[in-house]
Structure 1
Amino acid sequence: MASALALAPQTKKRQRQYAPEQAAAYSGVDAGGLTQQMDALSMDNTNSQPVAKLLFHEDLSPPYTHVDLLSYTPDPADLIITHPPLSPPLGSTISPATIDLARRYQTPTLSSVPVSDTVLKQTSLPLALTITPHPSIHNEELPLPLAAPDGVIARCQQCLAYINPYVRIVDFGTRWTCSLCGTANTIPAEFGFAGRPAAEVYASRVELTHTVVDFAATQDYSRAPPQAPAFVFLLDVSEAAIQNGLFALAAQTIADFLRLGADGLPNKQQRTRVAIMCYDSVLHFFKVTPETFGLLVVPDITETFLPLAHPDVLVNISQDGVRDTLLRLLAQLPSFFLPGRGEDKSATGVAIDAARELLASAGGGKIVLVAASAPHVGRGALEDSMKTEETKSAATFYHDLAAACVNGCVSVDLFLVGPRYTALPSLSLLPHYTGGLTMYYRDLGDKTKFSVELGRVLALPCFYEAEMRVRCSRGISVKAMYGDFFLQAFDRAVFASLPPDRGYAVELQIDGRLAGPLAVVQTALLHTTTDGQRAIRVITSALPVTHLAAEVLASADAGAVVGLIAKRAVQRRPIGSDDDLRDRVLDKVLENMCRAYAQEMRNGAEMQLRLPSNLRMLPTLLLSLYKKLSTQGRLASEQAFDLAGYIRATMSSASLKGLIQLIYPAVYALHTVDPETDLPTEPLALPLTSEWWEFHGVYLLHSGDGQRVYIWVGRDAVPQLVRDIFGPGVAGYAELLNGPAELPVLNTAVSRVARGIIARLREGINWPTMLVVKDEKAMHEWVEAQRMREEVVMLLVQDRVDAPRPGLRQVLVGVHERLRKA
């Protein structure tokens, strides 16, 4: 295989930038060469172009190329991964398009599976899948096909796998051989193979032609009637929440959302129920009737109880008069809890437990917690919330509370607002195990962000009372599962709620020598939709088996590998020191992979710091992951624990696409936009290093976590460029102000591009705040400047900011030296 290597890595040419004196045209480079579609960094690979051909029934070796890591310049364009196209098995009616669709739902770290664990260990690569079972469906996309509308669901009698396109129909259409365990099963008579052409039968049964399908669940898959949507709005009314305006803003946002009617809370079957609860050092329940509302206070937080039966507190918003009563209640809530009450204690843990009991007695639902302070009193209180991340007793309490929530089909969404410590590391155990969401805000400076995100979370088409099971073909088993769920068995996870675009990682192990040409992995997700329909989503992936470690290396997906490492690193266990973290997610990983590649290529020292071209962005992604998780170099404030907990919670729940954007966010040079173009194009994303930045440039940088969008303006920016972005009222750089801003709607190319990028970044749940950052100091002095500049420089992955936060070359040289000594 070594003879097939291309030994001449190409060095990318730096793109030319116009000088500041050229005010008439601040971009002179070719627009076609500098622009790309706005979805260029998407990890959705359904439209990827083939770079190598791997057939299921032919052993063809792809052309291998490698990259010298010390001379390679990281390029975000290399994150657009192209995978070898997989052809269907001989005689199958499955289309290549549906094979690629399975990759969107579950992306493998290896597109070729090693035949044995020995071959896998030779590569030092993990065998795993990153699964997004509930991605958002865009307007142009067709919904998934519905299988078994007649109620006939064919499953293997041995391993319980669902029938799929990779099974073999044998014995003249009377039996099918399971693609996972090889068991022969009887084909249901309803399939109609007897007396009908096979092509006609396949056309009528989408489960035989599509790798991703939804089965209409029968009564056998339901223990009780489908869960109706139910929401308990649990509002913090301590002095901190009232003083910073959070309580009033939350009440107003919920009221505005209830007014939307059909466009608000999911209520297609008119079964949605709502309850309003408040808490400080005591609990406040509100009874709502079509005519009026009343307040009941429970002062005993040692042994809490519900003062009323759940139908009096948790009310159906479709009942005549109830919605109007709720709106009156929410309008008057701020007058019930005025500033200066002197109550600055929060019984957060007790309040969540009471809300859980309320929902569990009604069949389950969602707790939406809006809080501005940490738990101070009652069960789950922290001893010193400003200086201690979490106590052992508090962690145990929230873990047990999360398990109780899962048993009652109750999920928890957190909306936590600083600047005080909010105990996010402890409280985030609840959404972690129940499948909820964690939203964090350093302050309420951008009220639009909070209101928009709260409304979007409430409107999400979540799956409820869900259970996910992963099954593998013979010789492969599930080793571990990572993500936000409650693990009931090594291969089965349960969710009280499953929001769209959440990601999970499943690490696999090879138990013996694989016998067949295919390795098949099937994920089944049993769930209830917001419309009250019980369904099973089945995703089936089949990958070719190879005997060659070189083919395994050449088929690896750098993004998926880093996705697994990230999920594994943020699991709920002590992460240890930064040195230990660096070993586990950076140095040792790179060292082992480079050594494995050198040994496989049999080129000794010459190959010690090279990787296959498909893994060329792996060092950069690993360094970025380490910097995101490292505690050193962070802002020294009482919010440090909350910020660290928020990053961990975001990584734990993010899809693969969202995870890559979080650890390697995009930066765009706005001054390279052609002023004469009318096309909706954007500049190429630049490497995250200051070496590419110019003092006359204007750059748009996304923080990746949904919190911020920065527009960095160089001190020598052309005045016309500044006016084309910020409006004619801004004469130039000197009149710009640091801080929050919104771009005006202007009829200029650069304005359209910038607003288009920001609108794209605001499409999901998050509504990032836009901040203007002026370059009033040199790049190397930013780390000593104010917080915004420090936040920006922390996003520049390849720069060496200080010793504990190394630059890319420093890492690579260290790995190279250790390999040479070894």
Structure 2
Amino acid sequence: MAIRLTVSKCPADPKVQEGSGIPWGAAVTAFAAHDEKGIAPVILSLEKSHALPRCDTCWAYFSSLYETEQYSWRCALCDSVNSFSEADIVRYSSPQNCPELSSSFIDLEIKEEKHRSENEFQGQPVFVAAVDLSASEEFLELIKSALLAALEALEPGVLFGLATFSHKIGLYDVQGPVPVVKSVFIPPELDGHVPIELEDAMPLRSFLAPIEKNKENIAAALDTLKPTSSWERTTAASQGIEGVTMGGQGFGVAMDAVLNYLGAEQGVTFALARVFAFLSGPPDYGAGQLDTRRYGEQYASKGEDADKALLPEQTSFYKDLAGVAVQARVCVDIFAVTDEYTDLASLKFLSIDSGGSLFLYANTDDSTLPQDL
């Protein structure tokens, strides 16, 4: 990695940077052949040595930049204290023999395992599409075209999963001759969770399909996606809590269930995963629902223009959910296609804090979703 700063010295704190009036930034080149000083990396092979310790909280690798004691070390990224294993204590008793302590620029050589059981997909990239069915036909047609284009760009070896959400979660098994969907209903309670684990509804290895063998089956499953019927939405909306009317879009519970679904097999089934979440409006059902009535009303009494005000988040639900995603090593990208207020101030944490991106499109006609995806 090479890091080049816009100025020769870094400001000591935000106050100094703000007072200087000078734009400050850094250009980071991941996987660079040399660092900013032209120095090649130290090569550390994990085949003949111990794997580097990793932070229990943020999964950062141990390096020469961290504070160490005899039995523990403090992560420089999240400030968590981690314990050394017995093997690590022996290893770091002679720090001069440890490349990771002699340089901050290291390449790890990890050999691929030659023997793998049939039930393991270890190391394969995983992509999961989570589609909002409490939407219009136009919304779903846009999502279908975007996902079909994305399927053509995915390389062999990728595992793909298709899930849907409304007042229930749908999991698709596309590895047979006919797509099969299993549904798990979302409880309307504001602090509720799905009544059963998704793994019990459909084993993860049935949900995640090798792209090279099932591309046509995935396309066939996408063709079956239909908006939630007005009868189903009316039924869900009638289950209001504390005077709040809910329309049947349980995004919060769905994401919590999917992240735990993937996280349970993290490190065994896959190295890391990416979830593409497609929203047609604000979540209004179950845990994580957002009260969008505050838009326009919150600033009316203060004489402020709500359209110009930067609204703070109204709940920490999605910030906490981002922590679950990081622990599961899952990155979440949110694609919102809507012209109504959706409270992205609350939703943004799930994508940004997990390493993903947040996209907003005002309508389906002018959307660049297929290209962005």
TM-score by length of 2: 0.62
In the aligned structure 2, how far is the partner of 1:121 from the partner of 1:266? 47
Instruction: Describe the shift of the 1:431–1:252 C-alpha distance in structure 2 as closer, same or farther (beyond 3 A).
Output: same
Aligned to 2:126: 230
In the aligned structure 2, how far is the partner of 1:292 from the partner of 1:113? 59
- Give unmatched runs, 5+ long, in structure 2: 33-38, 53-62, 67-93, 112-120, 234-246, 267-271, 299-310
Q: Of 130, 133, 143, which residue of structure 2 is paired with 1:250?
A: 143
Aligned to 2:8: 111
Instruction: Describe the shift of the 1:299–1:451 C-alpha distance in structure 2 as closer, same or farther (beyond 3 A).
Output: same
Instruction: Describe the shift of the 1:187–1:282 C-alpha distance in structure 2 as closer, same or farther (beyond 3 A).
Output: closer
How far apart are residue 376 of structure 1 and its match? 0.3
How far apart are residue 216 of structure 1 and its match? 2.4
| 1:356 and 2:252 correspond | no
In the aligned structure 1, how far is the partner of 2:228 from the partner of 2:17? 66
Q: Which amino acid aligns with 1:229?
A: P
Aligned to 1:311: 205
Q: Of 296, 301, 304, which residue of structure 1 is paired with 2:182?
A: 296
Aligned to 2:64: 160
Q: Which amino acid aligns with 1:308?
A: M
| 1:332 and 2:224 correspond | yes
In the aligned structure 2, how far is the partner of 1:451 from the partner of 1:356? 24
Match of 1:148, SS state, is strand
Q: Of 438, 451, 475, which residue of structure 1 is paired with 2:370?
A: 451
Instruction: Describe the shift of the 1:390–1:121 C-alpha distance in structure 2 as closer, same or farther (beyond 3 A).
Output: closer
Q: Which amino acid aligns with 1:311?
A: R
Match of 2:360, SS state, is strand
Residue deviations 1:386-414 (CA, integer Å, cap 9, x gap): 6265664xx22212211111111111101
Aligned to 1:598: none
In the aligned structure 2, how far is the partner of 1:298 from the partner of 1:366? 22
Aligned to 1:273: 159
In the aligned structure 2, how far is the partner of 1:278 from the partner of 1:451? 19
8 Å CA contact 1:374, 1:385 repeated in 2: no
Q: Which amino acid aligns with 1:398?
A: Y
Residue deviations 1:724-767 (CA, integer Å, cap 9, x gap): xxxxxxxxxxxxxxxxxxxxxxxxxxxxxxxxxxxxxxxxxxxx
Instruction: Describe the shift of the 1:248–1:127 C-alpha distance in structure 2 as closer, same or farther (beyond 3 A).
Output: same
Aligned to 2:25: 130
Aligned to 2:241: none
Q: Which amino acid aligns with 2:274?
A: K
Match of 2:219, SS state, is helix
8 Å CA contact 1:371, 1:422 repeated in 2: no
Q: How does 1:592-607 map to 2 (within 5 A)?
A: none
How far apart are residue 131 of structure 1 and its match? 3.9
Match of 1:439, SS state, is strand
How far apart are residue 312 of structure 1 and its match? 1.6
Q: How does 1:435-474 map to 2 (within 5 A)?
A: 435-447=355-367, 449-454=368-373
Q: How does 1:235-634 map to 2 (within 5 A)?
A: 235-238=131-134, 241-243=135-137, 245-258=138-151, 260=152, 264-267=153-156, 270=157, 272-301=158-187, 302-304=192-194, 305-306=197-198, 307-318=201-212, 320=213, 322-333=214-225, 336-337=226-227, 343=233, 344-363=247-266, 364-385=272-293, 387=295, 389=311, 392=314, 395-447=315-367, 449-454=368-373
Percent of matched pairs sharing the same residue? 19
8 Å CA contact 1:419, 1:443 repeated in 2: yes
Instruction: Describe the shift of the 1:145–1:326 C-alpha distance in structure 2 as closer, same or farther (beyond 3 A).
Output: farther
Q: Which amino acid aligns with 1:277?
A: A
In the aligned structure 2, how far is the partner of 1:122 from the partner of 1:423? 31
Match of 2:359, SS state, is strand
In the aligned structure 2, how far is the partner of 1:134 from the partner of 1:375? 37
8 Å CA contact 2:150, 2:370 repeated in 1: no
How far apart are residue 136 of structure 1 and its match? 10
In the aligned structure 2, how far is the partner of 1:148 from the partner of 1:378? 50
Q: How does 1:718-737 map to 2 (within 5 A)?
A: none
Instruction: Describe the shift of the 1:148–1:128 C-alpha distance in structure 2 as closer, same or farther (beyond 3 A).
Output: farther
Aligned to 2:239: none
Instruction: Describe the shift of the 1:420–1:161 C-alpha distance in structure 2 as closer, same or farther (beyond 3 A).
Output: closer
8 Å CA contact 1:288, 1:325 repeated in 2: yes
Residue deviations 1:692-716 (CA, integer Å, cap 9, x gap): xxxxxxxxxxxxxxxxxxxxxxxxx
8 Å CA contact 1:236, 1:280 repeated in 2: yes
8 Å CA contact 1:230, 1:359 repeated in 2: no
Residue deviations 1:248-272 (CA, integer Å, cap 9, x gap): 21122212321x2xxx1254xx1x2
In the aligned structure 2, how far is the partner of 1:403 from the partner of 1:113? 29
How far apart are residue 284 of structure 1 and its match? 1.7
Q: How does 1:561-710 map to 2 (within 5 A)?
A: none
Aligned to 2:84: none
In the aligned structure 2, how far is the partner of 1:146 from the partner of 1:326? 42
In the aligned structure 2, how far is the partner of 1:366 from the partner of 1:407? 13
- Give unmatched runs, 5+ long, in structure 1: 1-100, 138-143, 163-183, 190-206, 220-224, 455-822
Match of 1:274, SS state, is strand
In the aligned structure 2, how far is the partner of 1:429 from the partner of 1:386? 19
Residue deviations 1:303-322 (CA, integer Å, cap 9, x gap): 3131112112122223x3x2
Q: Which amino acid aligns with 2:289?
A: A
In the aligned structure 2, how far is the partner of 1:248 from the partner of 1:323? 18
More deviation, 289-298/121-130:
121-130
Q: Which amino acid aligns with 1:397?
A: F
Alignment: residue pair count: 276
8 Å CA contact 1:386, 1:421 repeated in 2: no
Aligned to 1:85: none
Instruction: Describe the shift of the 1:106–1:279 C-alpha distance in structure 2 as closer, same or farther (beyond 3 A).
Output: same
8 Å CA contact 2:334, 2:358 repeated in 1: yes
Instruction: Describe the shift of the 1:107–1:285 C-alpha distance in structure 2 as closer, same or farther (beyond 3 A).
Output: same
Instruction: Describe the shift of the 1:249–1:148 C-alpha distance in structure 2 as closer, same or farther (beyond 3 A).
Output: same
Residue deviations 1:40-81 (CA, integer Å, cap 9, x gap): xxxxxxxxxxxxxxxxxxxxxxxxxxxxxxxxxxxxxxxxxx
In the aligned structure 2, how far is the partner of 1:279 from the partner of 1:401? 17
In the aligned structure 2, how far is the partner of 1:279 from the partner of 1:358? 15
8 Å CA contact 1:390, 1:423 repeated in 2: no
8 Å CA contact 1:252, 1:330 repeated in 2: no
8 Å CA contact 1:237, 1:278 repeated in 2: yes
In the aligned structure 1, how far is the partner of 2:206 from the partner of 2:273? 16
| Structure with bigger gyration radius | 1
How far apart are residue 421 of structure 1 and its match? 1.7
Instruction: Describe the shift of the 1:122–1:369 C-alpha distance in structure 2 as closer, same or farther (beyond 3 A).
Output: closer
